[in-house]
């Protein structure tokens, strides 16, 4: 897919789809989150986050109803509440709220790449050429974050919210995001919100 220009329309669409962006106090960080999502979309076949299949991985843990935005927003809202509730009881817990929100909003920012139907067709046709997928969404997400100038703390949330994070030490904010992410899918599964054939019982990587 030839990259498109990052247009104002695309930026406006991202702000509309992810209203939690307004919760970020640092205006530069807020703009960079918008830029990161708009850039990820512009380099894919998708025109909106809601066009991406509502799954954890392609074909895995797929919501019966709803959109990928429900996942991103759900994880962000869960992460905020987890931090707020525990900080109230345990004042020694110092969570950087802006980094937590930006990190949660960007944790799956690599999905436009991994879920892109054009990429998937290419990988499935020749899995031994560039790999299948060539790059999972956590690694591609870190690439997007660093490309638009987001801080390493946010790139870390993209690259290590998932199973990849078992290979390193997660930051405090990313630990919350990781658990919010896995809680989202576990609760959706328990609440019968997932397409049964899409549920992986033994191993989830998100």
Interface residues with Fe ion (CB under 5 A) are: 108, 181
Closer of 43 and 161 to Fe ion (Cβ): 161
Closer of 64 and 129 to Fe ion (Cβ): 64
- Write down the least CB distance from residue 54 to Fe ion, Å: 11
d(CA 100, CA 120) in angstroms, rounded, equals 31
Question: What burial class does residue 107 get, using C-beta atoms within 10 Å of its C-beta: 0-12 exposed, 13-18 middle, 19+ buried?
Answer: buried
Query: How remote is the C-alpha of 173 from its chain's centroid?
Result: 14
Closer of 108 and 173 to Fe ion (Cβ): 108
- Write down the least CB distance from residue 60 to Fe ion, Å: 11
- Write down the least CB distance from residue 107 to Fe ion, Å: 6
Q: Is residue 154 within 8 Å of 104, Cβ to Cβ?
A: no
Closer of 6 and 114 to Fe ion (Cβ): 114
Closer of 108 and 114 to Fe ion (Cβ): 108
d(CA 102, CA 150) in angstroms, rounded, equals 9
d(CA 97, CA 84) in angstroms, rounded, equals 9
**Helix or strand holding residue 61 (H, E):** strand 60-62
d(CA 7, CA 81) in angstroms, rounded, equals 33
Any residues with CB less than 8 A from the CB of 161 and at least 6 apart, and which?
Answer: 107, 108, 138, 174, 177, 178, 181, 206
What sign results for the dihedral spanned by CA atoms 89, 170, 199, 20? Answer: positive
- Write down the least CB distance from residue 172 to Fe ion, Å: 18
Closer of 48 and 122 to Fe ion (Cβ): 48
- Write down the least CB distance from residue 11 to Fe ion, Å: 22
- Write down the least CB distance from residue 56 to Fe ion, Å: 6
């Amino acid at each position: 897919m030839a990259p498109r220009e990052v247009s104002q329309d695309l930026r406006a669409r991202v702000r509309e789809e992810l209203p939690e962006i307004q919760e970020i106090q640092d205006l530069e960080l807020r703009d960079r989150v918008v830029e990161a999502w708009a850039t990820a979309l512009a380099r894919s076949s998708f025109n909106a986050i809601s066009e991406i299949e509502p799954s954890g991985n392609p074909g895995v843990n797929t919501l019966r109803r709803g959109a990928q935005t429900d996942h991103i927003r759900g994880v962000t809202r869960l992460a905020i509440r987890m931090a707020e509730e525990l900080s109230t009881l345990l004042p020694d817990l110092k969570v950087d709220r802006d980094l937590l929100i930006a990190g949660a909003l960007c944790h799956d920012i690599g999905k436009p790449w991994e879920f892109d139907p054009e990429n998937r067709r290419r990988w499935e046709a020749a899995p031994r050429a560039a790999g299948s997928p060539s790059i999972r969404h956590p690694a591609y997400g870190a690439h997007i974050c660093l490309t638009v100038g987001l801080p390493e703390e946010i790139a870390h949330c993209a690259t290590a919210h998932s199973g990849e994070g078992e290979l390193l030490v997660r930051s405090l904010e990313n630990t919350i995001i990781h658990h919010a992410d896995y809680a989202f899918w576990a609760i959706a599964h328990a609440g019968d919100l997932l397409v049964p054939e899409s549920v992986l019982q033994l191993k989830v990587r998100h």
